[in-house]
Structure 1
Amino acid sequence: MMSTILAYTTPAKGHLYPLTSILLELQARGHDIRVRTLASEVQTMRGLGFGAEAIDARVAAIELQDWKHRSPQKALAASVSTFVARAEFDAADLQTAIAQEQPAAVLVDINSWGGLAAAEKWGGPWAAFCPYPIPLPSPDAPPYGPGLAPGHGFSGRARDAVLRPLVESTMNRSMLPAVNRVRGALGLADVDQLSEQFLRPPLLLYLTAEPFEYHREQWPESLVMVGPCAWEPPAPEPSWLADMTDPLVVVTTSSEFQDDGRLAQTAMDALADQPLSVVATVPAGDRSAFRTPANARVETYTPHGPLFARAEVVVTHGGMGATQKALSHGVPVVAVPFGRDQREVARRVQVADAGVRLPSGKLKGPRLLGAVREAMTKRPGAARVAKGYRDTGGPVAAADAVESRLIGVSSGL
């Protein structure tokens, strides 16, 4: 039975693209897909056969400013300010979309705080999707945010017992009042802990899998891990790729500006005299701002799939999308986190033995060259992560969960 499913995203390609693979699977099962997303991607979504419209332009105009702050606390506060400012508009925007589309189910980006509240207020079947490490506390995982390794034994448990209330209270002080203001504006009850916001959806699609994600004895009943669900717009393989005959290193920077261009420049400089080819993608950068050695090229956008299929190593900014996409190909990663969730992502790369973690504060040419060489020895770990992703089920598992848990279609769960 065909149902109308409405998806609502923040203005971030790194959130839209993983969701798209799930929407395509639902479409293949006969469902009518409607999307509200960033204006630049509306035509792409329509080309896939979705009914797509742009989110409120006032939402898209409020950009992340966390990159301006070196202090993690100030960067967190800046991110909170962005999500709260957007919520004034994205809550009403989703309410309007629901009234227009009359969907059987709604899928909401977990970073759309207003959208989460609007979906809960609506009261129909809805889910959130989370494409980055989720900040749900657990005795089996370290406190979220600083990028700590999991604790083991008495000393590890003692460390976490001391730090967890400190870290969680800091996040609650920074974020909880803002979350409850958003909820209160729609007449919803306050939540007592930040983590409760992520437990409100009847279904939470978590776009990762073990062994990249830390093992936990118990996850919330509402949470379903489905793997990365990678997708990118269809595009031909770049003609110049065939001319790159040396082993390939790919460097990625954020699709949302965070002033991480020095990662691309440092990598190209460090690898300039190596028997390697280098491709740096800078979707939020300016190609003309880089010095490009003879063995390298800089692209604003080029599909990652063909590059990662050939890569020996991928150097990332620690973004979850590019990191998981590389690991899905079994390619080891050098993760250089600059902020946001990236410290958590980089630590997971290290703990899974699927690559190397290099803090951005230590980003120097010799260190990066050494990290690339070390990462080349990590293919077995990357292969284990890739298998974990495959075994989780990907878009098929996500669509099964949406059908069985939200719209009452039996799909084998």
Structure 2
Amino acid sequence: MRPTTVVAACPVHAHVSPLLPVARALVDAGHRVRFLTAERFRTEVEATGAELAPLPPDAGFDERTLDVDHPERAGRTGAAAMRWDLTELFIRRIATQVAALDAILDEADGTDGTVGALVFDPLFLGAFAITTRPPAQRPRTVVVGIFPSATPHPGVPPFGPGLTPMPGLGGRVRDALVRAAVERGALRPAQVAAVRAMRDIGARPPAGFLFGWAASADVTVQLTVPGFEYPRPLLGDTFRLLGPTGVPRPGSVTVDPATLPGWWSDLDGRTVVHVTQGTVANDDPAQLLRPTIDALADEDVLVVAATGGAPVENLGPLPANVRAERMLPYPALLPRTDVMVTNGGYGGVHWALAHGVPLVVAGATEDKAEVGARVAWSGAGVRLRGNRPTADRVRDAVRTVRTDPSYRASAQRLAEQIAASPGAAGVVDAVTASGPGSGVGGCR
């Protein structure tokens, strides 16, 4: 009898995509996989061999129309933006997410009772109601870190502001003060709302602050490598750095030349700088795309811009040394890229690092400040704080990364770690390992 594993992801591209290779690896390992997310991801989910369990519309949101659906979100920045997003986009979905999960678990109880594991992304908050149930009444729980880890640990700065570790007494004092400001001040309303949402459905909230709830799972698997995440040695085998999923090893994917843009040969013999704002935050090219284009207009480089699906015309007039497309094939582009300029999406940064490409990162929303902090901490690039760096700052940063070989050396070191990492296969190992909640039916 095949074990059943439930995979749950918020219906957002950046949350679903990293878990698709996990679902495929579980299917290949002989699991029946029920993938709980939005109906619009059915094709991608079923291509892995998993079965889609449609998430009720009110248990998620559509990031493609977020500003239209929630105009009150516009204009919020910093802690105010994070507080609103946590409360309105994630915490308010807890009750419906728990109901959807329990429906799947109860269905298994009524048939063969063989749900062995629940695998979920850290912002599918309803899953944390399952983690706090007695081990005999729930499956094994595995949280998959699809953005920089927020799990607390001595010597690790609090999540949010984008701080890097600071050793000694000064660091401990700084971290304590910032943690108090975040947890007892800026984000306290979100914490209160999360605890109330759990109690309203009769669930016991996990201990501690919301950002530390991942510790209530049996194991956390982080989709990165040791050189790109702050060490947490006290957590032992419950915290595993497994490398990214869905990022093919360099040279393992062949791109049909017929699918490449007609200007592709222009890359030959040139220093290539790739710039992108990702596939979500690309409605305003003035944030990073245009400043980079303007910064490098007179530099001896070829700038390759990807708008992430937005019309190329949004970029305005382009200098002679710029080539732009809506989307570009990374397996073909990154091996020829010297520097990548990005707003700091976790997935895109790992694509660059897997190819040994050093970075210039500018981003302050969502988890991007934390991604930028890790780029700086790892030595793989330069961080520009904020969402809208000036052209002068971008130019200086690109020149620094181009001319200082230490950045490429650090990126190459991370590429070697990624190449040696288990990725999705490591998640399968975490799912099948013995431990609390493993191989349990009777989930409630």
**TM-score between the two structures when normalised by the length of structure 1:** 0.88
* Aligned counterpart for 1:243 among listed residues 265, 268, 291: 265
Provide the rounded CA distance (Å) in 1 between the counterparts of 2:265 and 2:80: 45
The one-letter code of the counterpart of 2:321 is N
Q: Does 1:212 align with 2:221?
A: no
Provide the rounded CA distance (Å) in 2 between the counterparts of 1:119 and 1:161: 27
User: Percent of aligned positions with the same letter in both sequences?
Assistant: 28
Counterpart of 2:78 in structure 1 is: 72
Counterpart of 2:385 in structure 1 is: 359
* Aligned counterpart for 1:111 among listed residues 98, 111, 123: 123
Counterpart of 1:8 in structure 2 is: 8
Secondary structure at the residue paired with 2:43? helix
Q: Does 1:309 align with 2:324?
A: no
The one-letter code of the counterpart of 2:191 is L
The one-letter code of the counterpart of 1:227 is G
Provide the rounded CA distance (Å) in 1 between the counterparts of 2:326 and 2:50: 26
Q: Deviations over 1:310-343 (max 9, x none)?
A: 2111111112111122112111111101311111
* Aligned counterpart for 1:197 among listed residues 193, 213, 232: 213
Provide the rounded CA distance (Å) in 2 between the counterparts of 1:356 and 1:260: 22
Number of paired residues? 407
With over 3 angstroms needed to count, the CA separation of the structure-2 counterparts of 1:124 and 1:191, relative to structure 1, is closer
Matches within 5 A, 1:132-151: 132-151=147-166
With over 3 angstroms needed to count, the CA separation of the structure-2 counterparts of 1:11 and 1:282, relative to structure 1, is farther
Provide the rounded CA distance (Å) in 2 between the counterparts of 1:331 and 1:396: 25
Shift of residue 288 of structure 1? 3.2
Tell whether the 8 Å contact from 1:108 to 1:128 is kept in structure 2 after alignment.
Answer: yes
Shift of residue 21 of structure 1? 2.1
Structure label with greater radius of gyration: 2
Shift of residue 306 of structure 1? 2.4
Q: Deviations over 1:260-296 (max 9, x none)?
A: 5321122222223333333333336443322252433
Shift of residue 67 of structure 1? 6.7
Secondary structure at the residue paired with 2:227? coil
Tell whether the 8 Å contact from 2:282 to 2:308 is kept in structure 1 after alignment.
Answer: no
Secondary structure at the residue paired with 2:341? strand
Secondary structure at the residue paired with 1:244? helix
Q: Is there any run of 5+ residues in structure 2 with no aligned partner, and where?
A: 110-114, 440-444
Q: Deviations over 1:168-223 (max 9, x none)?
A: 32365132212212321331123442144211211222112211112233226522
Provide the rounded CA distance (Å) in 1 between the counterparts of 2:285 and 2:104: 37
Counterpart of 1:411 in structure 2 is: none
Secondary structure at the residue paired with 1:46? helix
Counterpart of 1:252 in structure 2 is: 276
Q: Deviations over 1:342-379 (max 9, x none)?
A: 11110111111101101136611121122112222310
Counterpart of 2:139 in structure 1 is: 124
With over 3 angstroms needed to count, the CA separation of the structure-2 counterparts of 1:393 and 1:292, relative to structure 1, is farther
Provide the rounded CA distance (Å) in 2 between the counterparts of 1:297 and 1:58: 41
Provide the rounded CA distance (Å) in 2 between the counterparts of 1:84 and 1:296: 43
With over 3 angstroms needed to count, the CA separation of the structure-2 counterparts of 1:164 and 1:361, relative to structure 1, is same
**Which stretch of the first structure deviates more once superposed, 113-122 or 195-204?**
113-122
Q: Which protein, 1 or 2, shows the higher relative CO under an 8 Å CA cutoff with sep ≥ 6?
A: 2
**TM-score between the two structures when normalised by the length of structure 2:** 0.82
RMSD of the alignment, in Å? 2.8
Shift of residue 37 of structure 1? 2.6
Matches within 5 A, 1:271-350: 271-283=296-308, 285-291=310-316, 293=318, 294-350=320-376
Tell whether the 8 Å contact from 1:255 to 1:283 is kept in structure 2 after alignment.
Answer: yes
With over 3 angstroms needed to count, the CA separation of the structure-2 counterparts of 1:33 and 1:244, relative to structure 1, is farther
Tell whether the 8 Å contact from 2:12 to 2:61 is kept in structure 1 after alignment.
Answer: no
Provide the rounded CA distance (Å) in 1 between the counterparts of 2:328 and 2:106: 37
> Following superposition, which runs of at least 4 residues in structure 1 exceed 6 angstroms of deviation?
none
Secondary structure at the residue paired with 1:219? helix
Secondary structure at the residue paired with 1:278? strand
Provide the rounded CA distance (Å) in 2 between the counterparts of 1:345 and 1:296: 27
Tell whether the 8 Å contact from 1:337 to 1:343 is kept in structure 2 after alignment.
Answer: yes
Counterpart of 1:228 in structure 2 is: 244
